[in-house]
Amino acid sequence: MSDSFLHTEKDIFQQIANGDHDAFTRLVDRYWNNLYGQAMAYLKDSHKAQDVVQEVFLTIWKNRKTLSDIERPEHYLYTMAKNRILSEFRKKLLIPIPDSMEQLQTAADSPADEQLSAKQLQELVQTVVEQMPPQRRAVFELSRHEGLKYEEIAARLGISRETVKGHMVKALAQVRTFIRHALRLLFQIFF
């Protein structure tokens, strides 16, 4: 990037800081497509991608008084977009892990844009279940796949109810940790 380009961007930020609507329009025109493309590449959802870009520019305008302090305007814009995209991923992390395979199937029966997430979640859960020690895996599968209660699992496996409960606590923690770790790795790869 040339110094004159950077200077021009800093000038635009300074003009916006002074309340110049035309400078703001130039900034939007110059960066909308690139920021939208970045958001689409990660979110795979045009509505969310548009929301991310709109939030970036809305924040720029709301906080315009501070723009004159920004040394690298382009970097600032892309960092704002990245943070908004990460916020969208964090929202997905707050979605609870289904308690049963029926709940996961119900999610799979949801609208098409939500089905991909449900399928990917199901695949992640299956991956971590396959890595569990045999007894923990058996307890998890009897609970989640067959819908058995702790007492029924204990009777079937010949172990105590408390042992079943301990395995379930560890299994669910393992699933959550695995999913969070997988998402963290995804963020590192893309960001």
Computed over every residue of the chain, the mean pLDDT equals 79
Gap between the Cα atoms of 112 and 89, Å rounded: 18
Question: Of 42-46, 121-125, 129-133, 153-157, where does mean pLDDT reach its minimum?
Answer: 121-125
Interval 167-182 mean pLDDT: 82
16-35 per-position pLDDT tens digit = 999 998 999 999 999 999 99
Q: What pLDDT does 3 receive?
A: 43
pTM over 0.95: no
Spatial contact of 129 and 150, defined as CB atoms under 8 Å apart: no
Interval 183-187 mean pLDDT: 63
DSSP state of 162: H
Of 155 and 47, the structure prediction assigns the larger pLDDT to 155
Euclidean distance between the first and final Cα of the chain, in Å? 21
50-76 per-position pLDDT tens digit = 989 999 999 999 989 988 888 899 999
Q: What pLDDT does 120 receive?
A: 65
Give yes or no for residue 182 having a pLDDT over 80: no
82-132 per-position pLDDT tens digit = 888 888 877 665 545 454 445 444 544 444 444 445 666 777 778 888 889
Q: What pLDDT does 2 receive?
A: 43
Gap between the Cα atoms of 22 and 41, Å rounded: 29
Spatial contact of 129 and 137, defined as CB atoms under 8 Å apart: yes
Gap between the Cα atoms of 176 and 75, Å rounded: 33
Band (pLDDT 50/70/90 cuts) for residue 163 is very high
